[in-house]
Structure 1
Amino acid sequence: MYAIARIDLAKVASFGWQVRMQRRGVKYGKFFSDRSYGSREGSLRAAQQWRDALVAELASQTRVCTPSPRNRSGVVGVSKVSVIGANGNHYFFWQATWSPEPGRRRCVKFSIQRYGDDEAFQLAVQARERGVQ
């Protein structure tokens, strides 16, 4: 029953199924009245069909990650970061970030002091590639 809820409002004689979902900040919704579809089961079938068609349409709209104009590394998900230690020193890293599944974010840092700038960058690029596969 993903994204489908039953609405029974006897005071206003409104009975049916509500489909609601949001993708990338855009809200989608539609109400399926029992009266319009002949029965509770008919309105549920219509709601499920509409939801399934919407999910298929939204799934076909793939996002392609391209570098932002703000990206200075040239690799999506790889950036140079600095951390201020407890002693006040600045430490620089190349950081790789990715999302292994919806709602989760992973990142790993490679020390420029330990690996050098070029090798730390390459390690971050490799970690990003492994993470998104």
Structure 2
Amino acid sequence: MPETNPDYAIARIDLPDSCTFGWQVRLQRRGIKYAKFFADGNFGSTQNSLQAARDWRDALLDKLENDDRARICQRSTRNSSGVVGVSKVTVCAANGISYQFWQATWSPAPGKRRCVKFSIKRYGDTQAFEMAVKARIEAVGN
């Protein structure tokens, strides 16, 4: 990250044949790609364009980090259970029979996702929901 590498996500682009000289910032978060080129000529020098690239990258990382926190901490309008990370899921099998269950999901580490499902048919709607909520709380540690 920027704290350990000042040029994280920044690459130098020198293409003399097309008179292109500058710094390229490229990041990807949640499947969305972000990129911007900072030409030396637009900023007066190599150092100025590098600083502009770093500033843009840092502002973007701050924005993405704040958006991620908001997404994780705030209840989504799509959440009908009232509990973050707990949802009611219906699956239709190939034979046409549908199964319903309550599912608890969480992220134990960056890039990892875990879930556990509780059958409504087996436990009943209320108990399956309560089991999913308990599993989510135990997994997240809250």
* Superposition TM-score, scaled by structure 1 size: 0.68
The offset of 1:124, in angstroms, is 0.2
Q: Number of residues paired by the alignment?
A: 131
Any residues of structure 2 matched to 1:40-55 within 5 Å, and which? 41-55=47-61
> Which deviates the most, 107-116 or 47-56?
107-116
Structure 1 gap ranges (5+): none
Match of 1:68 in 2: 77
Residue 109 (structure 1) aligned with residue 117 (structure 2)? yes
Letter in 2 for 1:68: T
CA contact (8 A) 1:79 1:94 kept: yes
Match of 2:107 in 1: 99
The offset of 1:25, in angstroms, is 7.0
CA RMSD of aligned residues (A): 3.4
CA contact (8 A) 1:17 1:33 kept: yes
> Which deviates the most, 45-54 or 120-129?
45-54
Of residues 38, 44, 63, the one that matches 2:45 is 38
Any residues of structure 2 matched to 1:10-25 within 5 Å, and which? 10-23=16-29
Letter in 2 for 1:54: L
Larger Rg: 1
The offset of 1:94, in angstroms, is 2.0
Match of 2:137 in 1: 129
SS of residue paired to 2:55: helix
The offset of 1:122, in angstroms, is 0.8
